[in-house]
Amino acid sequence: MPSLLPLEELPGRGLLVEVVGGGHDGELLVVVSERRGAGCRRASEVIGECEISDEIRETLALVERQAAGPLPTVPARPRTPRARRRDSPTQAQSTPSRIAARSLLESLLDESQLASWHDHGRFEVPVADGTVELGALYDLRYRRSDGAQFSLCVVPRSHTTLPLDDIWTNLLLVLRSDPHEFFRVANYRRFGSTDALRRGPVPARCFDVPAGAGA
């Protein structure tokens, strides 16, 4: 039976997990508890854009029963440094999909991004008027040069079928080559705000990538 690797607590949304093993290996799911209030679906139902098999449904049912208590706590920050996690491979990290995705992502990072990725599990991408930090799914931090900060929610189409590192590769390449599109489709809110996400475009002042910061 496949297992679920907890990745990150998503405030107000549930627990991001990765399926390990089976036919859905590498896919991402958001697990929510029944107790999370109206509007939340049961974990054993289809979540996001992913259709799940009976096998996965059984696993989710187990998680759901565990979630009858408090949701598992997975500290979002500070994360265990990626390098250490890689040195102590879990089942998920030893799977070919994760290895391939990790390898591709790291080949696209510059030296400082790679160091940050290894140390903190996130890295910054420069844009014309600030930086966007990749590493926390559904909560990308956009630090505008005037000091304003925003939490962005933008993902590749059908992202739940991608290994997590491929999601970063996807976001990285589009952000570097077409920041206008990235900011246009992103949902956002002021960082630290509990307001509902607003639909893009994000109030970025301009969308040109600085010279020398191309993909």
Which residues contribute to the site for another protein (CB under 8 A)?
24-27, 96-101, 104, 107-108, 138, 153-159, 161-163, 166, 169-171, 173-174, 176-178, 181-182, 185-187, 197, 199-200, 214-215
Residue nearer to another protein on the CB measure, 18 or 129: 18
Residue type, 171: L
Q: How far is the CB of 70 from another protein (least distance, A)?
A: 25
Adjacent-strand bridge partners of 95: none
Q: How far is the CB of 104 from another protein (least distance, A)?
A: 6
Structure-token pair, residue 125: 């991408």
Residue nearer to another protein on the CB measure, 71 or 197: 197
Structure-token pair, residue 134: 């990749």
Q: How far is the CB of 160 from another protein (least distance, A)?
A: 9
Q: How far is the CB of 69 from another protein (least distance, A)?
A: 28
- CA 19-168-30 angle, to 5 degrees, is 35
Distance from chain centroid for Cα 141? 12
CB 211 within 8 A of CB 132: no
- Compute the distance between CA of residue 182 and CA of residue 41 in angstroms, rounded to an integer: 29
Indicate the SS3 state at residue 131: strand
Residue nearer to another protein on the CB measure, 162 or 204: 162
- Exposed e or buried b per residue across 50-63, where buried means at least 16 C-beta atoms within 10 angstroms of its C-beta: bebeeebeebbeeb
Q: How far is the CB of 115 from another protein (least distance, A)?
A: 15
Residue nearer to another protein on the CB measure, 71 or 185: 185
Alpha helices in 41-95 (DSSP H): 54-66, 82-87
Residue nearer to another protein on the CB measure, 19 or 63: 19
